[in-house]
Amino acid sequence: MDNGDRLLPGLFADLVRCETRLYNGLGERLKARHGIVASQFEFLRHLRAHPGTRVADLAAEFAVGVGAVSKGADRLERQGWVERRANPADRRSSLLALTEAGALLLDAAERTFADVLAELVGDVLDPSAVAATADALATLRAALEAGGVGVPTG
């Protein structure tokens, strides 16, 4: 086992703990300021960037089960932030789109998101460390996704 291999368990622990703390910290601020949780924010953000997304597309993007995403989309729809539209290419699925209320909520939440990330990450790491970490994680994510690692079965 070389030195890099010995570092991997600690890297894993740090990645998981940092992700959890960042996600929870962001979620707490979003909930307090906007009444949404981090997963809802991420769904809304994805829908803005990818209009006409299907539930299955969201599930693939976030590596979670279709059932969980469908229930999440139902909650967003009940709040009036998302609407389902008929999918002209496939009657069995619908397309999700932000409503005007969802877009307004997302605009406000984006400011909170940026502020919290600046505080929790930008105030701790210098720009070169942020860039190096972003590059490393993008490379790792691409490899995991290309290999189909961690894709839920249901």
Q: Which residues pair with 4 in a beta bridge?
A: none
97-109 residue pLDDT tens:
999 999 999 999 9
Residues 79/104, Cβ–Cβ less than 8 Å? no
What is the C-alpha to C-alpha distance for residues 114 and 110, in angstroms, rounded to an integer?
6
48-78 residue pLDDT tens:
999 889 999 999 889 899 999 999 999 999 9
Predicted confidence (pLDDT) at residue 151 exceeds the cutoff of 90? no
What phi and psi, each to the nearest 5 degrees, are found at residue 96? Answer: -100, 140
pLDDT of residue 102: 97
Q: What is the DSSP letter of 119?
A: I
What is the C-alpha to C-alpha distance for residues 102 and 85, in angstroms, rounded to an integer?
15
**Every domain of the chain and the residues it spans:** 3-146
What is the C-alpha to C-alpha distance for residues 36 and 58, in angstroms, rounded to an integer?
18
Per CATH, domain 3-146 is 1.10.10.10 = yes
pLDDT of residue 154: 58
